[in-house]
Structure 1
Amino acid sequence: HIRDAVKYDAYAAGIESGRYLETIGFFSVEGVSNKHVKKSGNVTFHRRYLDQNRPTFIYHSVDGKTKKFDTSKGKKMSKTIKQLRDQYKLSNTLGCASQDYFMYSAPLNSSASIFHLATKEVLPKVVINQERTNPAYYIINSGSIRYEIYKGPFSLDNMYQISPFEDKFYAIHDVPLEAAKQVLGKLNGQSDVFKKRSLYYTENPITLNEQASFVKRAQNLTKGYVTKDDFGTDGDDTPHVPYPSYNIPYYVDSDLPSGNGSTLVDIVYFDFFDSVLRKSLATITGKEWTATLTYGDPSITSSTMWLSFAQKFWNATSC
């Protein structure tokens, strides 16, 4: 997720407003004439990052008057959406998460990381091939996970939020353990993943007078995005207490199987990056490798693995 604005020169600037519709960006230019005449002087840029939620829209569109916000068409659409959700049982509880699992607010090796949950718990317990005697070594791309899990009921809706994809599991059999140890580093380019320059975190909270709006609505600040860009620190429409952020690599893995130089493993991964992984492995070993186009139950995919895990390992009555 990136909130950022860049000023290229006195007359040019750009903005990036979030990802997956978490942020609504507003950008305007002051000092531009609508007439075809030359005008001296600089222009002034203004930007605002709006949290994408109902209170934000009510505040800005109808001056906070909730009764003026809903329309007959909107109510009809909401009713239709609810009917469809009921029809497809999207809200039915599949299991209960005992804690929160975060994408970027927890380090990769933390039990609070959703990537840690995926690689250390979900994959080894759900993606299994009983016909293979080699230990499995799982690698997934972190971009396959798109949302967090919060403590409480876990529904089919949550499954689609976390992973809207249907990536299949491929496997490369009989890979020497010493070669498998090098694959993740090769995939990640032996370097840290890019940092989000637009998100900055500080031990000192942003004072309310640095924010232009929503102050009255945010007496008790919640954790959220705190943005610093080329125009300063006053771009966030709703003031938040900054939360920690950790860099997550493009690819993450399960624990490597133990063994010696003669140990063979099966590398299990998503078909999404099949060519990249096989190329990396070929570079390491000096030979070409062929993937098996299934591993275990073919109905288990990048999304349904969460469904299966929740149903089997999260007691649905513990909420």
Structure 2
Amino acid sequence: MPNLPFGDINIVVLTDLHSWLGGHSRQEPHYDADLGDVLSFWENLKDHCDAYGDDDDDDEPQNQHRDIFFVNNGDFIHGTGLSQMGMGNDYDDGSQRPLGNRYKILHGKNCKLLTFGFLYNMKDYAPNSGIVIEDVEKVVAQEWFVNALVEEHYDAILVLAHMDLVDPLVHVIKSAIRSNIGQGMPVVFITGHTHYRGVKQLEDTTMTFEAGRYMDTVGFVSFPKKESVRSENSTSLFSHAFLDANKQVLFQDTLGFSRSEDGETKNGKELSKFIDQTREKLGLKKEIGCAPQSYFFERPVDAEGSLWGLYRDEVIPKIFFKSRQTMEAIEEEATNEEDDLPMAMLLSKDAWRYDLFNNATLIADDIIAVAPFNDTVVHLGTFPSKVIAKANRTLNQYSNGDDLTWLPTLPKFILIGSLDESDANTKYHLYCHDFEAIHVQKILRRLAPKEHVVIKKTEFRSTMIWMAFVEEYWKCDGSCESDGRGYKRSKHF
């Protein structure tokens, strides 16, 4: 009997995997389960639920099946997750047709589950992407949404909402549901995007749940069918569990196997093998260097072991600034007098994703985990130091509605380069990543309308800069020994 709080309807949840299909066994060994292990876990749970109520076990009620479903709630790769699931508020820009199904009825042995998919009100998607994101407030008032609620036959509602579990839009959707069908129907929100574990009972028959990030969590929720809700106090029928993505936790502690290997299924093992072979084929396991220590992306810029401080003080000066004479943008834009001007960069706090660990020899995949977006570095022009400093201060102003999760750990933008604001005549070549370029360009044009602000791409990309730094300055020099897990560890650590 699996050690989980089962109900009429059960959901296994992954969210915000961001390509961590192979797990974290190298960086954080506790999280050693990969997607194949999760598949094995799911298949074992499904076998249990399918058999529940069918046998002669006196401890199990007869003819009362348990239904179980598996959901991945978006952001499967490093982008927005729009290609991973159909959202009720995603449309093709040309045809105005929704991308995927607006809703779907999931059928189990025991229930019919009305399922919606929503994305938060995204405003910063690429303008030429060919899609339109409609505001949730508008969508829940549309005829198709109301008709699905009042005309379909179902036993509960599942909302896959790629937004924080207490985002105001969750309440918008909940209120729209309740205004159409009343209070008795169980509703569960599976949320994501904000990368943490959380759960909240919003009302007697409504729960919202978020299951971590990056394959660190296997979430589990259970809830009743409407016919099982027999009183106004039904919160006890809603349960959840956060399981570490760890083989022992999944197979031994939860499923009850004496060895983790005993819980691995044929499909699960084949998927794990395929993931590993694919990583090998793509060159992601290529060893490229040895880090002198670990660096963490949630640490303040000036703190010991800050990933941001490393990039500001070491990576950009040694790799990017030193190579500026080879940049096409400089050659096209600079006059002879500007060839030797100093350089500066404005780096968004959204540039990096993960920590850089030194518990094993660094491989290419470790660097991609830090910098998965591979943004192009762009040249914005040459500007006096006082303009750049003022632009940095302006970009770092917070206003109502801003996400203050990182405050005061990190500013919105980090200034790279030593500016001399006392010398108003000295100009600097200014750079940023292309993702933020239009935003920075608007600020510069507002602050310095007489300056020439033109976005020009360089041949440098963010992941490439990290790779070049590690290969050049963090050589292992052959002084590595095995750590017993098939990876190498520097003798100097």
Q: 1:24: how far off?
A: 2.7
Q: 1:112: how far off?
A: 0.3
Equivalent-residue separation in structure 2 for 1:269 and 1:135 (angstroms): 15
SS of 2:414's partner is strand
Q: Is the counterpart of residue 135 in structure 1 residue 305 in structure 2?
A: no
Counterpart in the other structure of 2:462? 302
Q: Is the counterpart of residue 72 in structure 1 residue 234 in structure 2?
A: no
Counterpart in the other structure of 1:10? 204
Q: 1:84 to 1:11 in 2, by over 3 A?
A: closer
Counterpart in the other structure of 2:283? 89
Q: Is the counterpart of residue 35 in structure 1 residue 237 in structure 2?
A: no
Counterpart in the other structure of 1:195? 405
Q: Which amino acid aligns with 2:242?
A: Y
Q: 8 Å contact 2:287–2:363 — kept in the other structure?
A: yes
Q: How does 1:214-233 map to 2 (within 5 A)?
A: none
SS of 1:143's partner is coil
Q: 8 Å contact 1:25–1:47 — kept in the other structure?
A: yes
Equivalent-residue separation in structure 1 for 2:204 and 2:465 (angstroms): 51
Q: How does 1:1-319 map to 2 (within 5 A)?
A: 1-29=195-223, 32=224, 34-35=226-227, 39-44=231-236, 45-58=238-251, 59-63=253-257, 65-104=259-298, 106-128=299-321, 129-130=324-325, 132-151=339-358, 152-190=360-398, 194-195=404-405, 247-258=409-420, 260-287=423-450, 289-295=452-458, 298=459, 300-317=460-477, 318=479, 319=490
Q: 1:5: how far off?
A: 2.2
Q: 8 Å contact 1:119–1:138 — kept in the other structure?
A: no
Q: Deviations over 1:120-147 (max 9, x none)?
A: 2111211231264221111222222111
Q: 1:186 to 1:253 in 2, by over 3 A?
A: same
Q: 1:290 to 1:283 in 2, by over 3 A?
A: closer
User: Larger relative contact order (C-alpha < 8 A, sep ≥ 6)?
Assistant: 1
SS of 2:208's partner is strand
Q: 8 Å contact 1:281–1:289 — kept in the other structure?
A: no
Q: 8 Å contact 2:349–2:411 — kept in the other structure?
A: yes
Q: 1:11 to 1:171 in 2, by over 3 A?
A: same
Counterpart in the other structure of 2:333? none
SS of 1:171's partner is strand
Q: 8 Å contact 1:140–1:270 — kept in the other structure?
A: yes
The gaps in structure 1 that reach 5 residues or longer are 197-244
Equivalent-residue separation in structure 1 for 2:403 and 2:229 (angstroms): 47
TM-score, structure 1 as length reference? 0.73
Q: 1:292 to 1:278 in 2, by over 3 A?
A: closer
Equivalent-residue separation in structure 2 for 1:154 and 1:161 (angstroms): 11
Q: 8 Å contact 2:444–2:453 — kept in the other structure?
A: no
Q: 1:274: how far off?
A: 1.0
Q: 8 Å contact 2:257–2:263 — kept in the other structure?
A: no
Q: 1:270: how far off?
A: 0.5
The gaps in structure 2 that reach 5 residues or longer are 1-194, 331-338, 480-489
Q: 1:80 to 1:118 in 2, by over 3 A?
A: same
Q: 1:308: how far off?
A: 0.5
Q: 1:62: how far off?
A: 4.4
- Size of the aligned set, in residue pairs, is 265
Q: 1:158: how far off?
A: 0.9
Q: 8 Å contact 1:278–1:289 — kept in the other structure?
A: no
Q: Which amino acid aligns with 1:68?
A: D
Q: Which amino acid aligns with 1:51?
A: D
Q: 1:2 to 1:74 in 2, by over 3 A?
A: closer
Q: 8 Å contact 1:96–1:153 — kept in the other structure?
A: yes
Q: 8 Å contact 2:379–2:432 — kept in the other structure?
A: yes
Q: 8 Å contact 2:354–2:369 — kept in the other structure?
A: yes
TM-score, structure 2 as length reference? 0.49
Query: Root-mean-square deviation (CA), in Å?
Result: 2.7
Q: Which has the larger radius of gyration?
A: 2
SS of 1:48's partner is strand
Equivalent-residue separation in structure 1 for 2:222 and 2:425 (angstroms): 63
